[in-house]
Amino acid sequence: MAVDESMVPFKGRSSMKQYIPMKPFKRGYKVWCMAESKCGFVSHFDIYSERSDTQGNSSFSLVERVVLTLCDTHIYSHRLIAFDNFFTSYQLLKTLKERGLYVVGTVRGSRKGFPDILKRKIGCSAENSCY
């Protein structure tokens, strides 16, 4: 399974419309998606709204909450979840392992909470990502 963000193109007026210059469709709705690896279909999704960003007392960041929400129905299924360095954090990896899920993905060496011993072991610096 894979978790990533996607843009649904939309040119009309909406308070939920996002502008992301690096995406092929620059304006539209930002959607967090979980896709099945066997068929490639999106099995779960969540439309981004700024209101969902204001859940104050959570110890998880927005992207960590998104991944945990998308993976809720697969707890203790021992599935492999793949995502890129936008989603990867030490706290998220630890939480998913505790919930019986395996994870693979790239890592940003400058990510908050990333253990120093792992930075040294794989040769990360604060300026570049680690693979």
| Annotated domain spans of the chain | 2-130
pLDDT bucket at 120, cuts 50 / 70 / 90: low
For residue 81, what are the CA distances in angstroms to 53, 68, 95, 128? 23, 11, 13, 23
* Average pLDDT of the chain to the nearest whole number: 84
Q: pLDDT tens digit string along 68-89?
A: 999 998 999 999 999 998 898 8
CB environment 43-77: b (16+ within 10 A), e (fewer): ebeeebeeeeeeeeeeebeebbbbbbebbeebeee
Q: pLDDT tens digit string along 81-117?
A: 999 988 988 889 999 999 999 999 888 777 777 777 7
Phi/psi for 30 (5° steps) reads -85, 130
Fold of 2-130: Nucleotidyltransferase; domain 5 (3.30.420)
**Cα separation of 57 and 114, whole Å?**
22
pLDDT bucket at 57, cuts 50 / 70 / 90: low
Q: What is the pLDDT of residue 112?
A: 73
pLDDT bucket at 33, cuts 50 / 70 / 90: very high
- Tally DSSP H helices, then E strands, for the chain: 3, 8
**Cα separation of 102 and 94, whole Å?**
10
* Whether pLDDT at 4 is above 70: yes
